[in-house]
A and B are shown apart, each in its own frame.
Chain A
Amino acid sequence: MILLLLVFINIVFVPLLLVGVIRKIKALMQNRVGSPVLQAFYDIGKLLRKSETISGTASWVFTLAPRLNLAVVAVAALLVPWSGAAFPASWGSVTNFLLVIYLLGLGKFISMLAAMDTGSAFGGLGASRDALISVLVEPALMIGLGALALGAKSMDLSVIYSTPASHFVAILVGASLIVIALSELSRMPVDDPTTHLELNMVHEAMILENSGRNLALVKLAVALRTCIFFGLAAQTFLHALPQYSELSQLLRYGVGISSLFVVGVLVAVAEGVLVKLNWRRVPNFVAFAIALSSLAALIAVARG
């Protein structure tokens, strides 16, 4: 019963709240009052009540993509211990990090196809740039999580995030995960999520043609992915502290959620301070994640 309630809160309430908090902090940094913290909920509610307009060029791929993407991301959000609450290790390796990475890849595949489905230049632009970013992010994610897995002697995320990790490895992988999160979620300095200019459209370009109900599903999926990546980074940093693994399940969940919001606030502050990179410099930035992950791998391997 408690588990179901926790799952519901995790999947529905926390992601949209996080998005609202990030927006509020950015607004405060820009000396504005900004929209209320619960604005994301109102947006989703409004979008669900609106009808949608679909391009005549689009096919079943366009309609399937937001649904499949949200389904995949929701299942991944259940598997990844981003809030501190995790599946017990006896559930088989359903939380195997390869499965999670490739599930997210499935969501990405179908959303890139949907972007190209409408025959507009924006979709192709967004999909092609997203492809470039994922080429750099996937190895970093794989090597980073591999380094953590080596320390925990298991490829299951639920086991990795309940065994204490070495400080250096955890901090390096956490930093790498922050860079990965900023790139994957198209946040500054990789892309500006608030504008619709061709200079800096990655995610916004891909979802341009969605409207109404489809757009609500897309926004929910984005909010969930934000939680997954920021939460994973927060958990990795927390695992540098050996005391964290010794806390009780409920306390771990509480600390996990609060650290997720702390990471969100820090990212919002960073977004207010950072300048968006020239697109030609973006690969250099994202490749930092590969460097950090490889360093973490070297340390993890050397520790035996």
Chain B
Amino acid sequence: MLTLPGSLSGWYVAALCLWACVTLIGVFRRHSSSPLFPIALGLGSGLLLVTAILGGNRVMTAPAPWFLAVSPFRFSADPLSRWFLGIIGIVGIAAAVFSPSYLHHLRKRVALGFVWSALALLMISMSLVVLSANALVFLVAWELMALSSFALVASDHEKHSVHRAALVYLGATRTGTAFLMTGFLWAHYLTGSWSFSAWHLSGGEALGPALLIFIGLAVKAGCWPFHLWLPIAHPAAPAPVSAVMSGVMIKTAIYAMVRLLVMGHLDCPVLGPVVLILGAISAFWGVLFALLQHDLKRLLAYHSVENIGIILMGLGLSMIGKSLHLPFLAQLGLAAALFHTLNHALFKSLLFLGAGVVDARAHTRDIEQLGGLIHRMPWTAGSFIIGSAAICALPPLNGFASEWLLYKGFFGLAQNGADVGGRLCGLLLMGWLALIGALALACFVKAVGVVFLGLPRSEQAQRAKEGTRSMIIAQVLLAVLCAGLGIAASVVLVPLGSVVAFVQGESSVLAGVWTLPVPMLVVVLVLTLGALALWMLVSSRSKPARRFITWECGFGDLGPRMQYTASSFAQPIARMFRAVNRYAVQVDVQGSGRKHFPDAVSAESEYEPYLQTRVYTPALKLIQDMAGAFLARLQAGSIHQYLAYMMVALGLLLFLGCRS
């Protein structure tokens, strides 16, 4: 089979075998929920993590009889692949620990064995994507990933919304793969080889393949304007699957971008600014539309679009730095992007797992029906708050660390950019990132405030209970990792620096880049906080705090309807950006004394996702109309027509054959 030069790749093969077993057993025993599934999945992820951290760089090729059409099965593990393998491993462990209890509550509607099988296949294909060394193996693994995630999105397939979500997702992956395949074919035509390391193109030649490959990968990553499938597909999948998809699967597209466009020799200077601009727009668009959502998982999915935008801004900065011959900028941008990839995987998985607990216990994802969950599920609420603080890039958590690197990169662009325009863009991009951060803060205060704080807005929220111990353990693990990576950022930058140096092919210039004394700051903060808390505690001995009702202006019983809703919270900001999202509130007042003594008041807020209603829906309708009007006529069912086609095709082939 595969050659095994050393025991560490043996561990990876062991992980693959464990997952393959889960896949096969799950297909044959569709409704079983045996504890072996999560154990095998978790163990496989753990082995993957070990391979990522301790493995060396090697190339594994399957020997002669095993060929994939025209190229061998070749896998290569190098620092870049291992960074992504590590991410897959950590999120896989968390998902494996969380899933059994979560899937238990879905057991009546969903074939559990099949879900485990598809999840294992997804893990296999993701790790193969990250390790593949030539285009054909990459495409096979890519397609496996798409199919297994389609099966996972469609798990709860009795719901109509899940139907639609799964089909939209399938369509999006087909489109992305089509672009990717065309790009790969073009690159093969220009270079004559399928292997990634042999693709050396530059200038005008590189533009075509690079652009097509970028579009194909952007569809998968969820970059604007190809992001529409993400908020539709991710909420439809079960929560741990959403965590894996949002945390890791879209990052495989980022991996491919780094390998082919940043590290690879498809030198295309135009692509840098394009990636940067698209990343900036994605980040803004994602967070703006996240503010308007009241489905908790859709909100988190839009935030994935935002964070992919931030990662792409780092990649764009890196490509611009490379074209300007500024190695510090190139390495810093790439370091920020890769670090943010890891951080986003951690805190987004944490948030999705928290949303999963809320969904499983309160039986609704609509945040307007939730509230007061912090008293009923304290551990979930605590980890969700830590995850929200991390995604809002608040120090000393890990989101701040990676965004700080990106800010520093933009400041470097402002100092060393080629011309006044470039330098001004550096400063303005810092402001843009701050705008996005403030919008994310608003959105997560809304999410946490409406879901966990205040009074419960429905019976279900009132009766919700805490998740099981394994659910709590998975979330606490991720929360601790978030905090740890933030505080120990300078330690993480050591392996990250070597990955970046490997990608750029030169020695690392990032040695002293992390100058913030975060651990000392944390110690000072904790001491100050401790001193204040102690002071308050001591002074409260004589006069303990009195518990009473919330101030209701003397009007009496304050029900949960008096609280701010999520739509009200988002209204000022949504209104400010109404040029982008067409936000409007229709208020209808009925009654004889309409102005002061109404009988009924109805208020309806609406927004229009421009891209969906003005671009995609008409385009899809046009394609359907053309298919109906034009293409259907070609397949009329008439045998005379088909015979005529065959005659014409034969004549054409004879003509072409005689010419040469």
Chain A residues within 8 Å of B, Cβ to Cβ? 48, 50-57, 59, 61, 67-68, 70-72, 74-75, 92-94, 96, 98-99, 101-103, 105-106, 108-109, 112-113, 115-125, 127-129, 131-132, 134-135, 137-143, 146-147, 149-150, 153, 155, 208-209, 212-213, 217, 283, 290, 293-294, 297-298, 300-302
Residues of B within 8 A of A131 (CB): 438, 441-442, 445-446, 569, 572-573
A213 and B536 within 8 A (CB): yes
Query: How far, in whole Å, are A123 and B562 apart by their CA atoms in the complex?
Result: 11
Residues of A within 8 A of B385 (CB): 61, 113
Residues of A within 8 A of B562 (CB): 119-121
B394 and A129 within 8 A (CB): no
Residues of A within 8 A of B450 (CB): 116
B428 and A297 within 8 A (CB): yes
Given known contacts A127-B445, A297-B424, A132 and B573 CB-to-CB distance under 8 angstroms: yes
Query: How far, in whole Å, are A134 and B434 apart by their CA atoms in the complex?
Result: 10
Judged by a CB distance under 8 angstroms, whether B465 is at the interface is no
A sample of 15 cross-chain residue pairs with beta-carbon separation below 8 angstroms, ordered by A number, consists of A52-B546, A55-B548, A55-B551, A92-B515, A105-B441, A106-B389, A115-B449, A117-B454, A120-B550, A124-B569, A128-B569, A131-B569, A139-B438, A140-B431, A141-B434
B437 and A105 within 8 A (CB): yes
Query: How far, in whole Å, are A55 and B372 apart by their CA atoms in the complex?
Result: 13
Question: B570 to chain A: closest CB distance in Å?
Answer: 8
Judged by a CB distance under 8 angstroms, whether B521 is at the interface is yes
Closest to A115 in B: B449
Closest to A123 in B: B564
Interface of B is mostly: helix
A142 and B430 within 8 A (CB): yes
A67 and B551 within 8 A (CB): no
Choose from B414, B449, B545, B573 the contact partner of A51 (Cβ within 8 Å): B545
Question: A103 to chain B: closest CB distance in Å?
Answer: 6
Query: How far, in whole Å, are A92 and B516 apart by their CA atoms in the complex?
Result: 7
Choose from B374, B563, B576 the contact partner of A59 (Cβ within 8 Å): B374
Cβ contacts B301-345/A at 8 Å (1 or 0 each): 000000000000000000000000000000000000000000000
A120 and B551 within 8 A (CB): yes
Question: A50 to chain B: closest CB distance in Å?
Answer: 7
Point out which of B374, B392, B434, B525 has the most chain A C-beta atoms below 10 A from its C-beta.
Answer: B434
Judged by a CB distance under 8 angstroms, whether B501 is at the interface is no
A71 and B529 within 8 A (CB): yes
Question: B313 to chain A: closest CB distance in Å?
Answer: 15
Query: Which stretch (B128-136, B139-147, B400-408, B643-651) binds chain A?
Result: B400-408
Chain B interfacial residues counted at CB < 8 A: 77
Judged by a CB distance under 8 angstroms, whether B552 is at the interface is yes
Given known contacts A153-B415, A301-B414, A59 and B453 CB-to-CB distance under 8 angstroms: yes
Judged by a CB distance under 8 angstroms, whether B560 is at the interface is yes
**Lowest 3 CB-CB distances: which A-B pairs, in order?**
A124-B564, A116-B449, A51-B543
Cβ contacts B512-531/A at 8 Å (1 or 0 each): 00011100110011001100
B431 and A146 within 8 A (CB): yes
Contacting residues of chain B (403-459) with chain A, CB-CB under 8 angstroms: 404, 407-408, 411, 414-415, 420, 423-424, 427-428, 430-435, 437-439, 441-442, 445-446, 448-450, 453-455
Closest to A121 in B: B562
A112 and B521 within 8 A (CB): no
Query: How far, in whole Å, are A101 and B400 apart by their CA atoms in the complex?
Result: 11
A113 and B564 within 8 A (CB): no
Residues of B within 8 A of A72 (CB): 525
Chain B residues within 8 Å of A, Cβ to Cβ? 371-372, 374-375, 385, 389, 392-395, 400, 404, 407-408, 411, 414-415, 420, 423-424, 427-428, 430-435, 437-439, 441-442, 445-446, 448-450, 453-455, 515-517, 520-521, 524-525, 528-529, 532-533, 536, 539-540, 543-552, 558, 560, 562-564, 568-573, 576
Query: How far, in whole Å, are A67 and B446 apart by their CA atoms in the complex?
Result: 22
Query: How far, in whole Å, are A55 and B548 apart by their CA atoms in the complex?
Result: 5
Given known contacts A124-B563, A132-B573, A147 and B524 CB-to-CB distance under 8 angstroms: no
A106 and B374 within 8 A (CB): no
Query: How far, in whole Å, are A74 and B521 apart by their CA atoms in the complex?
Result: 12
Closest to B399 in A: A102
B374 and A146 within 8 A (CB): no
Query: How far, in whole Å, are A283 and B562 apart by their CA atoms in the complex?
Result: 26
A208 and B551 within 8 A (CB): yes
Question: A301 to chain B: closest CB distance in Å?
Answer: 4
Query: How far, in whole Å, are A301 and B426 apart by their CA atoms in the complex?
Result: 10
Given known contacts A93-B515, A138-B437, A139-B432, A57 and B372 CB-to-CB distance under 8 angstroms: yes
Closest to A290 in B: B431
A94 and B516 within 8 A (CB): yes
Question: A265 to chain B: closest CB distance in Å?
Answer: 31
Question: A1 to chain B: closest CB distance in Å?
Answer: 20
Residues of A within 8 A of B439 (CB): 135
A67 and B532 within 8 A (CB): yes
A116 and B544 within 8 A (CB): no
Closest to A110 in B: B389
Residues of A within 8 A of B428 (CB): 143, 294, 297
Residues of B within 8 A of A124 (CB): 449, 563-564, 568-569
Given known contacts A53-B548, A146-B431, A297-B424, A70 and B563 CB-to-CB distance under 8 angstroms: no
Residues of A within 8 A of B445 (CB): 109, 112-113, 116, 127, 131
Question: A272 to chain B: closest CB distance in Å?
Answer: 28
Question: A105 to chain B: closest CB distance in Å?
Answer: 6
A143 and B573 within 8 A (CB): no
Query: How far, in whole Å, are A49 and B521 apart by their CA atoms in the complex?
Result: 31
